A and B are shown apart, each in its own frame.
Chain A
């Protein structure tokens, strides 16, 4: 560079150029999940997760780790995965004063009741999370937890029902 161009000009140019690149408006989609969205997913029943979040929770180990940490911090109850020796389908789980049971519907064999019962707790859970080992997260909004229990009718084909029946899943109520 000649004397007319001070050597610091390049450093200043890098800064200005980076600023433009990083802040310019773009229509290009990206697959980054902001922490605000993760927090809303973990705490708000009315939050509708974006496809990007759903995909990232299946494939991004760091994001799964972050969500797990957040859920454990705010959980009302956790029911850790069943013992390694367990086999077959799980229909009942319990932990931290709550019991979760899957009970087939008498009226329709394609439907099943998910019963959440509080044994000795005053807290009312509003969300149920199921984390499969090396698999996706599932989330269910508990809309009506009344008088220590909730009864939610689901399809037997529902992913969360299938996941709850697996031994190697963690269940978190918040």
Chain B
């Protein structure tokens, strides 16, 4: 495939990218309509092509929306007059709307809606509705309202049954298939993958920090217009993806998964569900960041934008951060100056300006970045302790879970004596303290330090101190009055613990690394020369 065709391909992919960005930027009443985690689910559905089942669910939801609509023959209100796409808003809308609904097809309970047809029923949970709403937005934005509305009107105008809804879903799926076939071209990414494989001589196990740096030095000045390897961070993420792809394919082969592929699939295709699982698996470490910025956890500002940004490269690399630690630091430190150069180039600034930017160098050294990670780790630990105090204030049973996660070896014997329990080494604390009866006592006791022994008292004192020191959103709210806030502190603390462990593991890895230049200061000076020299070749050779 020639460069021109590759550029054309890139244009088609940009159209799809614009659709997804538009959706992620959609606002309603001044807040984002879809949470980051919902947008990610939508992206996953698109790239893994796992849209068939969600489209069927959506068609059933359209029937519900139609039945709940205050105006005849409309279905839009459920999606665009119910506020931001959160489960709680859909629950509220459906409860209110159902009071005015005359038909007998719909029923509602605490989890969702059930719809009864002559040939069977279908249930949709409120927790599923935000993703289905995002899918609806995607269909209408990408394929157009008129074409999609025609399909829905035909479905709603006929005799409704599970079968007729499935037929409408199949028609929609075919439209999406055709759209994605055009807008998810593979030639460009094929070229990227093959270029990387050629460089490491088909041995991804040989990929290390120096190989990545060598590749970037070569490929960033390559005139190949089809594939852009100019920025170091894009090179690093492509290498990470290549390693993950090969490792996942090896697992697939080990599982003999290929044999489960449906006979209708073309040779070489992979079950979309396996692709979806793979994406979840490689995103496991970055996923806490998304969850922390999505409802219900976003009621508490555990991490601000800058803190999240500092963690993105590290967590996005997953386990490979420990294999490619220097590359992670290089990307962290040198991405900013390279971005400045790219922007200056867009503004068509003169070569001497570009050279000035190069001479300025990065704002931080490798040692600075390690201090940033340590500070982040400390902040996260404080946030977990503060969450523990918030949960104790709310007398939530989750206090115990967080306490045990913070210190699994904590001495619970004074407490167990107080509660009249027998704790033996083979009786785990978790089992005993998770019973609601005991937990009720426990929550009362932990707030009186004289009752709970030194370990627990110390833990709770630290928790109170951390809570007092944090004035971010959520930490000063009346937690005992808000079950949502309790949930946010409970889930948030667990996720933050995962993030803290990942940071600790990375810092430990950096301590153990044997640097080619001997120490971090010399390594940074050496790399500064390499990166500035390369920036000069890429951007300021004129």
Chain B hits for A74, CB < 8 A: 71, 74
**Is A147 interfacial (CB 8 A cutoff)?**
no
The answer to whether A14 and B190 touch across the interface, beta carbons within 8 angstroms, is yes
**Residues A65 and B146 in contact in the complex (CB < 8 Å), given A7-B268, A36-B33:** yes
CA distance A10 to B242 in the complex (A): 8
A31 to B184, CA, bound (A): 19
Chain B 235-248: CB-based contact to A (< 8 A → 1; otherwise 0): 00110011011101
- Indicate if B151 sits at the interface (CB-CB under 8 A): no
Nearest chain-B residue to A38 (Cβ)?
Answer: B145
Most buried by B among A15, A20, A38, A43: A15
Residues in chain A near residue B193, CB distance under 8 A: 9-10, 13-14, 17
* Residues of chain A within 8 A of B46, CB atoms compared: 22
Contact indicator per residue, chain A 52-89, by CB within 8 Å of chain B (1) or not (0): 00000000001001100110011000000000000000
Q: What residues of chain B lie closer than 8 Å to A9, measured between beta carbons?
A: 193, 245-246, 248-249
When the two chains form the complex, which single residue of A1, A5, A62 contacts B144, counting CB atoms closer than 8 Å? Answer: A62
A30 in contact with B21 given A8-B258, A17-B189 (CB within 8 Å): yes
Distance in Å from the Cβ of A45 to the closest Cβ of chain B? Answer: 14
CA distance A146 to B211 in the complex (A): 74
Instruction: List, in ascending order, chain A residues with CB within 8 A of B252's CB.
Output: 6, 8, 12
Residues of A within 8 A of B244 (CB): 12, 16
Of A2, A10, A34, A38, which is within 8 A of B245 by CB?
A: A10
CB pair A34–B137 under 8 Å, yes or no, is: yes
Contacts of A26 in B (CB 8 A): 17, 21
Q: What A residues does B184 contact at CB under 8 A?
A: 18
**Residue of B at shortest CB range from A73?**
B74
Give A9 to B204 CA distance when docked, in angstroms: 11
- Choose one: A31, A40, A62; the contact of B18 (CB below 8 Å): A31
Q: Are A36 and B20 in contact (CB under 8 A)?
A: no
A19 close to B44 (CB less than 8 A): yes
Are B23 and A15 touching (Cβ within 8 A)?
no
User: Are B245 and A13 neighbours in the complex by a CB distance under 8 Å?
Assistant: yes
Encoded as 1 (CB less than 8 Å from any B CB) or 0, chain A from 131 to 152 comes to 0000000000000000000000
Chain B residues 240-297 with CB under 8 Å of chain A are 241-242, 244-246, 248-250, 252-253, 258, 268-270, 275, 278-279, 282
Q: State whether the Cβ of B22 lies closer than 8 Å to any Cβ in chain A.
A: yes
Residues of B within 8 A of A107 (CB): none
Q: How far is the CA of A66 from the CA of B18 in the complex (A)?
A: 19
Minimum Cβ distance to chain A for residue B177 (Å): 15
How far in angstroms is the closest Cβ of chain A from B186?
5
A19 x B22 contact (CB < 8 A):
no
Residues in B whose Cβ lies below 8 Å from that of A21: 13, 17
B279 touches A35 (CB 8 A): no
Q: Given A17-B189, A35-B145, do A12 and B248 touch, yes or no (CB 8 Å)?
A: yes
Does residue B453 face the partner (Cβ distance < 8 Å to A)? no
Bound CA–CA A18/B237 (angstroms):
12
Q: Which of B73, B268, B282 contacts A16 (CB 8 A)?
A: B282
Contacts known (A12-B249, A32-B18); A37 close to B26, Cβ less than 8 A: yes
Q: Please determine whether A34 and B23 come into contact, CB atoms closer than 8 angstroms.
A: yes
Report chain A residues within 8 Å CB of B407. Answer: none
Known: A4-B202, A15-B47, A15-B275. A39 touches B76 (CB 8 A): yes
A11 at the interface (CB under 8 A from B): yes
Among the listed A14, A15, A23, A37, which residue makes an inter-chain contact with B39, where contact means beta carbons less than 8 Å apart? A23
Set B140, B197, B269: member contacting A1, Cβ < 8 A:
B197
Q: Which residues of B contact A1 (CB under 8 A)?
A: 197, 202
List which B23-73 residues lie within 8 A (CB) of chain A.
23, 25-28, 33, 39-40, 43-44, 46-48, 71, 73
Q: Roughly how many angstroms separate A14 CA and B180 CA in the complex, as a whole number?
A: 13
Q: How far is the CA of A12 from the CA of B48 in the complex (A)?
A: 9
Cβ-based interface call for A33 (8 A):
yes
- The A-contacting residues of B in range 85-114, CB under 8 angstroms, are none
* CB of B440 within 8 Å of the partner chain: no
Known: A6-B250, A7-B268. A12 touches B278 (CB 8 A): yes
Q: Is B336 an interface residue (CB 8 A)?
A: no
Is B279 within 8 A of A19, CB to CB?
Answer: yes
* Complex interface bits, A36-51 against B, C-beta within 8 A gives 1, otherwise 0: 1111100100000000
Residues of B close to A32: CB separation below 8 A: 15, 18-19, 21-22, 141
Closest to B150 in A: A69
Q: How far is the CB of A63 from chain B (nearest CB, A)?
A: 8
List of B residues within 8 angstroms of A19 by Cβ: 43-44, 47, 279
**B159 on the A face (CB < 8 A):** no
Known: A8-B249, A39-B80, A62-B144. A14 touches B189 (CB 8 A): yes
Q: Which residues of A contact B (CB under 8 A)?
A: 1-2, 4-23, 26, 30-40, 43, 62, 65-66, 69-70, 73-74
